[in-house]
Chains A and B, each alone.
Chain A
């Protein structure tokens, strides 16, 4: 029962480099999210997706891109890495269906990716 899987766990980038953070879930969840957590801070929403082919911006989308070609995968792309993007990135998923139940509400998290841009 894998849940939400993120890769890589750690990465160091040079300024201006690009990379893709991978996220996949095996729970058939329709909603997927990308958050960033700066040191000692809460989580801020970067992008989210309500289903395959549909994505939208969150609070802090600048410098990032996403795509959702399948239900399972939701990669996050950094095009021109900047030191301000040094953070821990969490992918999460949830199932939003009929009725308000814990199963429909709970947010499941990946283990995070620690990214440093130097």
Chain B
């Protein structure tokens, strides 16, 4: 069963508008971490934001916020005031393995975001 699901292969957003990228996850670990990474056309992986499973508040990093709904097992990324430089591939990822003691990071298939001028 897929553990990280990103159902939006591609998204368009108008410059300066907000956009939400969806991510759902599945794990039986009581403690896990959720991440979003950005991959621009140059190919590098850029860390954006992190949410721990026990964190009470949604994580924020500048224009990025993570809408964490634990009961629904969702961790959507919200980008406010989109900029042309936000055009990239975005990956949701989860760190699990606290029970086994071996930490592994699992990635979704990604969402390609295009910001329109």
Contacts and interface: CB of A to CB of B under 8 A. Distances in A.
Pick the most buried of B31, B44, B50, B104: most chain A CB atoms within 10 A of its CB. Answer: B104
Interface in B34-58: 35, 43-45, 47, 50, 52, 54
A103 to B, nearest CB: 10
A102 interface: yes
A42 B108 contact: yes
Interface string B88-104: 00010101000000111
Given A48-B104, A105-B95, 10 more contacts: A33-B104, A33-B105, A35-B107, A42-B91, A42-B110, A43-B107, A90-B45, A105-B33, A107-B47, A114-B43
Interface of A: 31, 33, 35, 40-45, 48, 50, 56, 58, 88, 90, 92, 94, 96, 100, 102, 105-109, 111-112, 114
